[in-house]
Structure 1
């Protein structure tokens, strides 16, 4: 496996492209415009420069990684020579369905198709293509160059050989690959999001202030980051989207999004990305 195509150059997409480029793979990073593609590469350059400054890599390694990353603004052009295509666009099923329909049309027959989705059914996404047996979930964690976990999600029809290849590939990236089967929220967000949601309910019901809730979880439970600070970092809109997937998937009221979370997203208070969430940045 040599040629990797990454669809989407946002926070997750550029991080995925960086990791592959830094580990010797040729990458085609696909964005919707030249400007967005250039912005993604600029972010990768900045992140690699930070690693050089910290003496984690050398200047030559940085330049070699950047040379391996090319950009495209057309999916057909971006995937035509791919061994693996990883979709990393926003958590919207209809958008992903449209992207995979195009990828399916233009990618080689033996390509492996993967989604970086954090909650949407891999089985459902796989059925948007003509090759569900070659479809899998590769759920990276933010920031991708730092976080070691890759949650590898098998769809109902995913071929065992595809799973083996993706587990091996993840290890070559220096990641710890952990397999799971398809279920709403998989393992990570099925466990994490109810905790974040419950912390938001504590604010909503006046149990404690956000900083106190986070302090209790950090000091008492040894969490490196409090649940409300983590929610801001992830993006409150993303948290809401995932909770909706859990609620719709299980029809269980324990996944009901807190009204305060819905209100904050409606008000545009999304966390780090907007400068204000449960905390100000």
Structure 2
């Protein structure tokens, strides 16, 4: 779907990759509806949009509240006249600990934001999207959604659920006007850690400098390019592309490789 002159909802639009998606879409003459739980973050996004902010509306919402999402979806359609696209970007990670040391409260929080928040938006907007001449649902999974990462197992499970939800939707919506894409970002420089209420364990000296992390701006541009090509899978970043290939060729070896990389973090 070509995004120009479309109206697209972006969750997590108050920071990180969500903010960069909002700003990049505005430059493409998109009418953007940005959702986030952080009002201050949304205000900053609107400020950064500058003159383009006339094409931006912001809404504070907790996407884990099903009733609030359903009510807001009705209002968004009424206020905008129509919605053409939904980018489910909002997400959080878990503390860098093993499942055995993770509380059920934290497990529920990750699943509620990453999976159920995504599902609530889809269920609330899909009936309307099916009435549009063309529409697109984009769900952001993760490299951790197809590759096990020790210390992020529940996060990975939530993103794997998003992956299969998206692929199932693609199959169910084949032959309709609604396109569906799943996005697999690798390492992207965002503030997901602070948004998740976490601090990143310090990497080994020298390794942090050697590892090139994709900027959120670059990641957003890659995603939009994939959307406009109606790609089924949008893999963002060299690391995600390499691990996607390795995991399909030899899942056990790929998992062992990641386990070795994470071992020092989990030993603390």
- Normalising by structure 1, report the TM-score: 0.48
1:131-151 per-position Cα deviation (integer Å, ceiling 9, x unaligned): 554421245765343454338
Query: 2:181 — aligned with what?
Result: 136
Query: 1:109 — aligned with what?
Result: 129
Query: 2:20 — aligned with what?
Result: 15
The question of whether the paired residues in 1 share the 8 Å contact of 2:184 and 2:233 is answered with no
Deviation larger for 87-96 or 98-107: 87-96
Are 1:67 and 2:69 counterparts?
Answer: no
Query: 1:219 — aligned with what?
Result: none
Quote the offset at 1:20 in angstroms.
1.0
The question of whether the paired residues in 2 share the 8 Å contact of 1:126 and 1:132 is answered with no
Query: 1:126 — aligned with what?
Result: 166
Q: Which has the larger radius of gyration?
A: 1
Q: What secondary structure is seen at the aligned counterpart in 2 of 1:19?
A: helix
Q: Within 2, Cα distance between the matches of 1:266 and 1:8?
A: 32
List gaps (5 residues or longer) in structure 2: 62-68, 94-109, 146-159, 189-213
- After superposition, the CA RMSD in angstroms is 4.0
Alpha carbons of 1:118 and 1:254: their partners in 2 closer, same or farther (altered >3 Å)?
closer
Q: What secondary structure is seen at the aligned counterpart in 2 of 1:150?
A: helix
Q: What secondary structure is seen at the aligned counterpart in 2 of 1:90?
A: coil
Quote the offset at 1:18 in angstroms.
1.0
List gaps (5 residues or longer) in structure 1: 49-61, 154-162, 169-178, 195-242, 268-281
Q: Say which of 92, 98, 121 aligns to 2:116.
A: 98
Are 1:167 and 2:207 counterparts?
Answer: no
Alpha carbons of 1:181 and 1:112: their partners in 2 closer, same or farther (altered >3 Å)?
closer
Moved beyond 6 Å, runs of 4+: none
Query: 1:159 — aligned with what?
Result: none
Quote the offset at 1:263 in angstroms.
3.7
Q: Within 2, Cα distance between the matches of 1:71 and 1:125?
A: 27
Quote the offset at 1:98 in angstroms.
0.6
Alpha carbons of 1:181 and 1:18: their partners in 2 closer, same or farther (altered >3 Å)?
closer
Alpha carbons of 1:63 and 1:114: their partners in 2 closer, same or farther (altered >3 Å)?
same
Alpha carbons of 1:146 and 1:41: their partners in 2 closer, same or farther (altered >3 Å)?
farther
1:164-193 per-position Cα deviation (integer Å, ceiling 9, x unaligned): xx327xxxxxxxxxx4658xx788444445
Higher relative contact order (CA 8 A, sep 6+): 2
1:196-245 per-position Cα deviation (integer Å, ceiling 9, x unaligned): xxxxxxxxxxxxxxxxxxxxxxxxxxxxxxxxxxxxxxxxxxxxxxx9xx
Quote the offset at 1:7 in angstroms.
1.1
Provide the aligned length of Structure 1 versus Structure 2.
175
- Normalising by structure 2, report the TM-score: 0.50
Alpha carbons of 1:85 and 1:250: their partners in 2 closer, same or farther (altered >3 Å)?
farther
Matches within 5 A, 1:1-281: 2-9=6-13, 10-32=15-37, 36-43=38-45, 45=47, 48=48, 62-74=49-61, 75-76=69-70, 77=72, 80=77, 81-90=82-91, 94=111, 95-107=113-125, 108-110=128-130, 111-119=135-143, 120=145, 124-126=164-166, 131-133=172-174, 134-138=179-183, 142-146=214-218, 148-150=221-223, 166-167=228-229, 179=231, 181=233, 188-193=238-243, 251-256=251-256, 257-259=258-260, 261-264=262-265
Q: Within 2, Cα distance between the matches of 1:152 and 1:91?
A: 24
Q: What secondary structure is seen at the aligned counterpart in 1 of 2:215?
A: coil
